[in-house]
Structure 1
Amino acid sequence: MARDFKTLEIWQKSYALALALYQTTEKFPSHELNNLTSQMRRAAISIPLNIAEGCSRQTKRSFMQFLSYSYGSIKELQVLIRFAKDLKYIKLDEFVRLNNELDGLGMMTFKFMTKVENDVWLSWFKK
Structure 2
Amino acid sequence: MHNFKKLKIWNESMELVSGSYKITRSFPKYETYGLMSQMNRYAVSIPSNISEGSSKSSSKHFANYLEHSLGSAFEWETQLNVAFNESYITEEKFKELEGKIKQIQKMISSFKSGL
Alignment correspondent of 1:15 = 14
Residue 32 of structure 2: SS of its match in structure 1? helix
Alignment correspondent of 1:85 = 84
Q: What is the rounded CA distance, in whole Å, between the counterparts of 2:73 and 2:50 in structure 1?
A: 12
Q: State the one-letter code of the partner of 1:93.
A: E
Cα drift, residue 63 of structure 1: 0.5
Q: What is the rounded CA distance, in whole Å, between the counterparts of 1:19 and 1:72 in structure 2?
A: 19
Describe the superposition over 1:57-101 as per-residue Cα deviations: whole angstroms up to 9, x where unpaired: 112221011000011111111100000000010111101000000
Aligned: 1:111 with 2:110: yes
Q: State the one-letter code of the partner of 1:66.
A: Y
Q: What is the rounded CA distance, in whole Å, between the counterparts of 2:15 and 2:100 in structure 1?
A: 10
- The count of aligned residue pairs is 115
Alignment correspondent of 1:6 = 5
Q: What is the rounded CA distance, in whole Å, between the counterparts of 2:2 and 2:12 in structure 1?
A: 18
Q: What is the rounded CA distance, in whole Å, between the counterparts of 2:54 and 2:86 in structure 1?
A: 37
Alignment correspondent of 1:119 = none
Ranges in structure 1 where 5+ consecutive residues have no aligned partner: 117-127
CA RMSD of aligned residues (A): 0.8
Alignment of 1:1-127 (within 5 A): 3-116=2-115
Alignment correspondent of 1:120 = none
**Given the two structures, how large is their TM-score scaled by the length of structure 1?**
0.88
Residue 34 of structure 1: SS of its match in structure 2? coil
Q: State the one-letter code of the partner of 1:73.
A: S
Identity of aligned residues (%): 34
Moved over 6 A (4+): none
Ranges in structure 2 where 5+ consecutive residues have no aligned partner: none
Cα drift, residue 3 of structure 1: 2.7
Q: What is the rounded CA distance, in whole Å, between the counterparts of 2:81 and 2:2 in structure 1?
A: 35
Q: What is the rounded CA distance, in whole Å, between the counterparts of 2:2 and 2:103 in structure 1?
A: 24
**Given the two structures, how large is their TM-score scaled by the length of structure 2?**
0.97
Q: What is the rounded CA distance, in whole Å, between the counterparts of 2:82 and 2:13 in structure 1?
A: 20
